[in-house]
Homo-oligomer: A and B are copies of this chain.
Amino acid sequence: MRGKQAAGRADWPEKGRASARIETFPATLANTLHRRLETEIVAGRIEPGSRLDEQEIAERYGCSRTPVREAFRLLAADRLVELRGRQGAAVRSIGAQTLIEMFQVMGELEGLCARLAARRVTQAQSQALQAIHARLVAAAGDSVDVFYDINAEFHEAIYEAANNAFLADETRRLRNRVAAYRRRVTHMPTRVEDTIREHEEIMEAILAHDPEAAHRAMRAHLTLLGENLLDLIAGLG
């Protein structure tokens, strides 16, 4: 007879920090699949809107449908895929309207990151930021993918300097959701130089410990990025 009270069992001793990717602990098949599919989607290797076939993926990874299904649920939680019950799962495709809205929210969140970073950044973090930026400048001529990755590093460094793990998680999550689209923007004519200039402004504000300037610069950066993205979409619509 096991049916005790509703939920009165061994409570865990409360984790120190409630952040950290949800499921790093055990390397279950479902978790592995979750990570791998997430990477594929974020990198844009799976077209937005395309359907994900349980069986196909199951045999591709040599497992049964069960863990695949569970991975889908996890991805749905991050809003990376859409679950249409009885009709399978599909990579979420984002319309122009939603994209506008997302960039507005991202502007606010990344702006907060920048503001906090300006207040809290340490000496070591300042130097790290400058080093990353130097690498970004150096990579201006390299492949777009390399540039994109260093760009991401820059923002990641700011999250860290902001010293708000929750904010970092949420911002990162949002960033992931638009990543597949955002990556394409890097291909635009002046985007690389623009990015470098905008990053410079952000960085200087942070190094100068000027929260409002950092906030403003970061928001502007995101706004411009969003507008570029919309131009791109309008162009190929």
User: Which positions in A face B, CB cutoff 8 Å?
Assistant: 2-4, 6-12, 14-19, 22-23, 25-28, 30-31, 46-47, 49-53, 55-56, 59-60, 69-70, 73-79, 82-86, 90-95, 97-98, 101-102, 104-105, 108-109, 112, 164-167, 170, 174
Which of A9, A18, A31 has most chain B Cβ within 10 Å?
A18
Say which residue of B74, B104, B170 sits within 8 Å of A164 (CB atoms): B104
Task: Give the distance to chain B from A204, nearest Cβ to Cβ, in Å.
Answer: 23
Contact B46 A98 (CB under 8 A): no
Top 9 closest pairs, chain A to chain B, by CB: A77-B77, A26-B85, A73-B73, A101-B166, A7-B50, A18-B98, A11-B49, A9-B51, A101-B164
Task: Give the distance to chain B from A29, nearest Cβ to Cβ, in Å.
Answer: 10
Task: Give the distance to chain B from A225, nearest Cβ to Cβ, in Å.
Answer: 16
Copies of this chain, complex-wide, total 2
Task: Give the distance to chain B from A177, nearest Cβ to Cβ, in Å.
Answer: 10
Say whether, besides A18-B95, A76-B77, A95-B16, A11 and B50 are in contact (CB < 8 Å).
yes
B-chain residues with CB within 8 Å of residue A102 when the two chains form the complex: 166
